[in-house]
Structure 1
Amino acid sequence: MRHNLNLNWLRSFEAAARLLSFTSASHEIGLTQTAVSQHIKALEAQLGEKLFERRPKSLQLTDVGQAYLLTVREALITIEMSTTGLFGPQEASTITVRASMALIMWLTPRLESFLRDHPDTSVKLITSIWKNPSDQHPVDVDIVLASKEYARSDLELLSDEAIVPIFRAAYDGGINGPKDLLLHPSIHILGFDDHWARYLAAFSLKPASLSARLVTDTSTAAIEMVAAGLGCAVIIERFALGAINAGQNIRIVGDAAALGQSHYLVRTEHHIVHRPQAEAFNSWLRQQF
């Protein structure tokens, strides 16, 4: 069948057509001249067309060979580019970092210093939204937020965290204390539903009259909602300060309260083999916290 072509035949054809020499083509692709010649003959037999005019001291493409060369060359280049892009040497210098969207946003403006100091290392950032405990996706650096009381031996403490209330920066109505937060619509974050209760409890307030008008699944989205004037939210102080420094239209409208949770660096089985690039990133990461 014509469509069932051997890739080695095509490689031999492309090299011979470009160099107009079976001998030169054999040197380039690491085969014998006989093997290249046999590949071309097999390809011509499969296609039912002559691709070359063979002369005593020269080799020329036929018209159909010239037309076919363009397609074959483009196909081989596409395969090479895809293979190199997905599986090439640069993958060895790429580290995969998994963290929450908010933490990735917080790290982003700081990454320039790591990339500058490690020009041969690439960083792939992936989010851990609703991470499945059985997820076996290999990562080099895994950062999680976990309760301090349940910290495990495979977790390295990066930083204890605090939470703060945030409101739209341009809002004219005064918030003079935590109690005033109860007068405004609240934005809740799935997975962090206790942030509001923790914050209010720190000031002996109950969230009974708190109405959740909006619910989202990331702190990043909650910040955007607050900046748009849709209400107030309670988020990790680190993320609030990062958003403010990035120019977000929000402000912190109350003192910080302890969250009782911390960011940890996970040491999983994947880290048994310590990649130098990952260890360099871990060292840099500790400094950021």
Structure 2
Amino acid sequence: MTNAAVSHQIKQLEDHLGKKLFARRNNQLTLTDAGDNYLPRVRDALRALEQATDLLMDTADAPLRVAVPPTFGAKWLVPRLYRFFNQHPHVRVEVSTADVQDHGQFDLCIDDRQVNAPNLRVEWFTSTDFFPVCNATLQAAIRMPQDLAAHTLLHERGGRHLAHHPTWRQWLDEVGVPQIDATRGPAFSEALMALQAAIDGQGVALGQGLLVEYDIAAGRLMRPLATEASLRLSYYLIHPHQAAEHAGFALFRQWLVDEVARSGGRARNQPPASEVF
């Protein structure tokens, strides 16, 4: 800004205040008594404005921290994530599969566990059904639920808070084959490993419809049975209230909602009555 422009701005301020803030003495500008009283208060206000601006710019540039379960991240989120970056290349996202104990440490968590904390907002995101999946080699030999008795069952067990996840025992009982031994076969702490074992032909996994559609579309997994069961698992969007201040939060949340709505018909658009918050 030129000296003339500065002088013009000073004159405008003095005209607005109705007081002289500067006096010219010996070709130098000095503060008047009014200016001397005005300066400390203005300086504090300008510093606060500068700090607020810096904080806002830092927040805008900071990555959006997202936490997801490993299988959800690998099988649902990551295969679609490029579409978000194509739409919003300026938003930085960091995805973690850490076992979240404090959801407030992240800007957004996708979790199959409900939490109840005053500093968090929890909203139902989607739900998924469960059905057997295997590779193409095993598919031909499985025509009805009873045929599963001749195959290795792959289990998800003992990992991240899995007590509420549907099991092979529940699925077999519900479709009318309680005589099949549901304890057979190896168990994995993450569904991701059970699904990989199924892809490799090591047995039959009980897959979440939402999380196996990518592998089914690619031909890596097959759904050998059309048998339906009522077993379902819900996912929730969990975030601290202040996360909405992040420049990318609303964009990412809306993208998630749009993606799950177009996700293969597995996701229901309305939550169960018991899960309306």
Taking structure 1 as the reference length, the TM-score comes to 0.60
Rounded to whole Å, the distance in 2 between the matches of 1:212 and 1:194 is 16
Residues 95-124 of structure 1, C-alpha deviations (whole Å, 9 max, x = no match) = 111111121121212111110111111211
Contact kept? 2:174, 2:229, Cα under 8 Å: yes
What is the CA distance between 1:211 and its match in structure 2?
A: 3.5
Partner of 1:125: 95
Alignment RMSD (CA, Å) = 2.8
Rounded to whole Å, the distance in 2 between the matches of 1:181 and 1:121 is 46
Residues 195 and 268 (structure 1), Cα distance of their counterparts in 2 relative to 1, 3 Å cut: farther
Partner of 1:221: 193
Partner of 2:239: 267
Q: Secondary structure at the match of 2:67?
A: strand
What is the CA distance between 1:207 and its match in structure 2?
A: 6.1
Residues 41-100 of structure 1, C-alpha deviations (whole Å, 9 max, x = no match) = xxxxxxxxxxxxxxxxxxxxxxxxxxxxxxxxxxxxxxxxxxxxxxx9698341111111
Equivalences for residues 248-267 of structure 1 within 5 A? 248=220, 250-254=221-225, 255-267=227-239
Q: Secondary structure at the match of 2:230?
A: strand
Contact kept? 1:164, 1:253, Cα under 8 Å: no
The one-letter code matched in structure 2 to 1:184 is: H
Residues 256-286 of structure 1, C-alpha deviations (whole Å, 9 max, x = no match) = 4233321110133553x53120111001001
Rounded to whole Å, the distance in 2 between the matches of 1:145 and 1:139 is 16
Aligned pair 1:202/2:174, yes or no? yes
Contact kept? 1:185, 1:211, Cα under 8 Å: no
Rounded to whole Å, the distance in 2 between the matches of 1:284 and 1:238 is 16
User: Which one has more relative contact order, counting CA pairs under 8 Å at least 6 apart?
Assistant: 2
Residues 207 and 144 (structure 1), Cα distance of their counterparts in 2 relative to 1, 3 Å cut: farther
Equivalences for residues 32-71 of structure 1 within 5 A? none
The one-letter code matched in structure 2 to 1:206 is: P
1:143 corresponds, among 110, 120, 133, to: 110
Residues 133-185 of structure 1, C-alpha deviations (whole Å, 9 max, x = no match) = 3x3672111001147xx999942111121001011212364211122112211
Q: Secondary structure at the match of 1:279?
A: helix
- Between Structure 1 and Structure 2, which shows a larger proportion of strand residues? 1
Aligned pair 1:284/2:255, yes or no? yes
Partner of 2:35: none
How many residue pairs are counted as aligned between the two chains?
195
Rounded to whole Å, the distance in 2 between the matches of 1:225 and 1:176 is 21
Contact kept? 1:163, 1:195, Cα under 8 Å: no
1:240 corresponds, among 191, 212, 215, to: 212
Unaligned runs of 5+ in 2: 1-56, 261-277
Q: Secondary structure at the match of 1:261?
A: strand
The one-letter code matched in structure 2 to 1:252 is: R
What is the CA distance between 1:288 and its match in structure 2?
A: 1.1
Residues 207 and 115 (structure 1), Cα distance of their counterparts in 2 relative to 1, 3 Å cut: farther
Residues 184-203 of structure 1, C-alpha deviations (whole Å, 9 max, x = no match) = 11111122663212321221
Unaligned runs of 5+ in 1: 1-87
Contact kept? 1:197, 1:207, Cα under 8 Å: no
1:102 corresponds, among 71, 96, 102, to: 71
Partner of 2:153: 186
Rounded to whole Å, the distance in 2 between the matches of 1:165 and 1:172 is 10
